[in-house]
Amino acid sequence: MTTKERYKGVLGWFSEHMGLAETELHYRNPYELIVAVILSAQCTDKRVNMTTPAIFERFPEPAAMAAGSVEEIYQLIKSISYPNNKAKHLYEMARKLVSDFQGEVPEDFELLQTLPGVGRKTANVIMAVAFHRPAMPVDTHVFRVTNRIGLVNHTKTPLETEKQLVNNIPAEMLSTAHHWFILHGRYVCTARKPKCETCGIRTWCKFAEK
């Protein structure tokens, strides 16, 4: 099976059976999304969604968070993984939004990465989800799934994975495909024991061929 055939089969099945997939994080605007994504690092979306309502009530916009304190943010997110670092990142991120961007989340990939707590993956998520731009954020699910099924060729870094996926997936499908891979990795192609017997894309999966 060629790589082109594998992509056609996998993307075709997802398109038919999963349709318009979206993030499972709860948010109402780019600011809330960037807060949620920063909190979601090595933490489940379910836990983040349980935590963010109190944060958004206390800090409804960047100016409110920037006027608060790291300690106050910490108290609201202490049930989440790595709360100390994330509290500092959120506070500094909000301050930079206010000082450099008039309180607005920049609609620019490079500028997003100047915000504390925002790396390439998070910036890609904001571009794809908040601003509906073609982007392929590579988290642990995307990295595992695309390497396992053979869409990418034994990549060693998220950036290598991102580049191969961007080169092979039509731009208009990138953002949705990102969610397909995440949901597939979260519920079917799980890390320890993939559910190959019920997997809809096993026909095109390199792992299943073994």
Q: Do the Cβ atoms of 180 and 14 come closer than 8 Å?
A: yes
Computed over its alpha carbons, how large is the radius of gyration of the chain?
18
Task: Give the rounded distance of the alpha carbon of 151 from its chain centre.
Answer: 19
Q: Do the Cβ atoms of 154 and 147 come closer than 8 Å?
A: yes
Q: Do the Cβ atoms of 177 and 14 come closer than 8 Å?
A: yes
CB atoms within 10 A of CB 204: 21
Q: How far apart are CA 142 and CA 139, in angstroms?
A: 5
Reading the block at residue 60, the tokens are 């409804």
Which entry of 8, 108, 139, 206 is annotated as an active-site residue?
139
Q: How far apart are CA 133 and CA 72, in angstroms?
A: 34
The sign of the CA dihedral 20, 41, 45, 59 is: negative
Q: What amino acid occupies position 46? A: K
Q: Catalytic: 46?
A: no
Q: Catalytic: 121?
A: yes
Task: Give the rounded distance of the alpha carbon of 5 from its chain centre.
Answer: 26
Which entry of 86, 121, 156, 193 is annotated as an active-site residue?
121
Q: Which active-site residues does the annotation give?
A: 121, 139
